[in-house]
Amino acid sequence: MARYIFITGGVVSSLGKGLASAALGALLQARGFSVRLRKLDPYLNVDPGTMSPFEHGEVFVTDDGAETDLDLGHYERFTGVSARKTDSISSGRIYTNVLEKERRGDYLGKTIQVIPHVTNEIKDFLSIGDDEVDFMLCEIGGTVGDIEGLPFFEAIRQFAQDKPRGQCIFMHLTLLPYIKASGELKTKPTQHSVKELRSIGLAPDILVCRSEGPIPQKEREKLALFCNVRPDAVIAAQDLSSIYDAPLAYHREGMDQAVLDAFQITPAPRPNLAKWEDVSERIHNPEGEVNVAIVGKYTQLEDAYKSIAEALTHGGMANRVRVNLNWVDAELFEREDPAPYLEKYDAILVPGGFGERGTEGKIKAAQYAREHKIPYLGICLGMQMAVIEAARNVAGVAKAGSEEFDHEKGEKRFEPVVYHLKEWVQGNQRVNRSVADDKGGTMRLGAYDAVLTEGSRVASVYGTQAIDERHRHRYEVDVKYRKALEQSGLCFSGMSPDGRLPEIVEWPDHPWFIGVQFHPELKSKPFAPHPLFRDFVRAAKEVSRLV
């Protein structure tokens, strides 16, 4: 039976609970334990799939098609454990399940209440797969004291009571603000946060304190005394130059040892941190640098492209270079010539997105990369824009565009080289969709197979002709334009197994120009960079004349 670690947050949000959870998972793995990480989000959306990237950052997609919080991306990148639908839950999903059961009559006419019905639903979720791993790490989103989080805090309190003594521990992440005027590190916000936690029946076993610098011994002792934790369970979480330093930094602080001590696991297996030492060495000792432009529409919030940024970092590590990311607003190129902005970059990446805003700028970026032989990687919408650019400027389809933009505008303006995907094969079943469907959870989501053309660049990059990658889209390049586009030189080098859905396009006469309908960034890890990002950065490195 798994041991449970519940990670909560206090004082302010965005302190890095997800990163701390992921790093702890990596440290427990380094000691030989198996782990699974979960995220419980208090918001009332059923999932983040319909939320704006400006609201929530990127939506991370699992192999089995769940749209989840970006923290699950951290979990996968640090542990290598593929997340599942059962690793992410929200208040919206919990309440939906409870109300569906009430409508079916499952509660036998009882009055439905937060306690026990909602809390029981949360506890049932926590119990899924608890016989599969040694440790289950469960992060509670938000901050202690938030009204919407109370059912989750009550549920984990009950859950710990239901389990045998010593089966569950609580880790609380807080902020130690530094008051520059007085030159003091203040512990009072953390004391109040722990007081709030204790008032709802939860007592932290481990205190993780975010700070700009080290925590003096005097402050550690004060925190231990007033928050009722052991002095060696007060863990400093200092600002780091790279998130991939977190496992080593937390190990030096004794986080993994504090966890094992709390569970009374002794003697504890010694950790093997060679993998993370290699990752840190590659991050901090590059042999050069490359400059990559990310031409997108959510560039004001870098978390909207979190997995892409990390995957490029992984590609840089594989090539021993630092990748300097530069965020370029696609709308800029709808007003101005892209050349003065893009000529200084070694490669161009156009990521996914929804809606027409900024797409003409993305098309111009794809055109610039094609004409100037700059390495180009188009992801999801970025591939569709590359195909539209090829149709307009090479294949002679002057009004080429996407059905998505006509649907948004409410009038027909384009010849739909990209159309609304109405049916596809998922496993042994055929899925049917219409434009009138609800927006949530109705896209082509999760891992799907693709077959690569023998001798193509992507087949060479992957080293195989059979791949599976994660998707998140409802619009697709129309295969009926394939012949005209291939006659113009664009190669459809990856297709769905039934040959109906284009997955990858490339320009064979270009040094490196690839568009993919899927999201390769979701599978990249620091110790296992995705092949496409590894080779994309290699191509950028050649352009920068570092080799």
Q: In whole angstroms, what is the distance from residue 398 CA to residue 512 CA? A: 25
Q: In whole angstroms, what is the distance from residue 405 CA to residue 427 CA? A: 30
Q: In whole angstroms, what is the distance from residue 61 CA to residue 501 CA? A: 20
Q: What is the mean pLDDT of residues 298-307?
A: 82
3-state secondary structure 380-442: CHHHHHHHHHHHHHCCCCCCEEEHHHHHHHCCCCCEEEEEECCEEEECCEEEECCCCCCCCCC
Question: 306-318 vs 71-79: helix axis angle to the nearest 10?
Answer: 20
Q: In whole angstroms, what is the distance from residue 318 CA to residue 290 CA? A: 13
In this prediction, residue 432 carries a pLDDT of 75
Q: Do the bridges between strand 289-296 and strand 502-506 make them parallel or antiparallel, or are there none, so unpaired?
A: unpaired
pTM: 0.93
Burial of residue 148, with CB atoms counted within 10 A of its CB: 0-12 exposed, 13-18 middle, 19 or more buried: middle
Handedness of CA 531, 536, 539, 544 (dihedral sign): negative
| All domains in the chain, ordered by first residue | 3-279 (3.40.50.300), 286-545 (3.40.50.880)
Residues making up the annotated binding site are 13-19, 71, 139, 146-148, 186-191, 222, 240, 353, 381-384, 404, 474
In this prediction, residue 547 carries a pLDDT of 43
Contact 449, 427 (CB under 8 A): no
Q: Give residue-wise pLDDT tens across range 401-443.
A: 999 888 888 888 888 999 988 876 777 677 777 776 766 667 8
Tell how many helices (H) and how many strands (E) occur in the chain.
19, 25
Q: Answer with the residue of higher pLDDT: 431 or 542.
A: 542
The answer for residues whose C-beta is within 8 angstroms of residue 365's C-beta and 6 or more apart is 293, 295, 328, 330, 333, 338, 342, 348, 350, 385
| Coil vs helix vs strand at 211 | strand
Kindly list the catalytic residues. Answer: 380, 519, 521
Model confidence at 363: pLDDT above 50: yes
Given pLDDT bands bounded at 50, 70 and 90, which one contains residue 57?
confident
Q: 464 — phi, psi (to 5°)? A: -160, 165
Given pLDDT bands bounded at 50, 70 and 90, which one contains residue 299?
confident
Return mean pLDDT, the chain.
92
Q: Give residue-wise pLDDT tens across range 189-225.
A: 999 999 999 999 999 999 999 998 888 999 999 999 9
Q: What is the mean pLDDT of residues 102-126?
A: 94
Amino acid identity of residue 207, one-letter, is L
Model confidence at 10: pLDDT above 70: yes
The answer for residues whose C-beta is within 8 angstroms of residue 173's C-beta and 6 or more apart is 7, 8, 9, 10, 15, 16, 17, 20, 208, 209, 210, 237
Residues making up the annotated binding site for CTP are 13, 146-148, 186-191, 222
Q: b/e map of 190-206 (b: 16 or more CB within 10 Å)?
A: bbbbbebbeeeebebbb
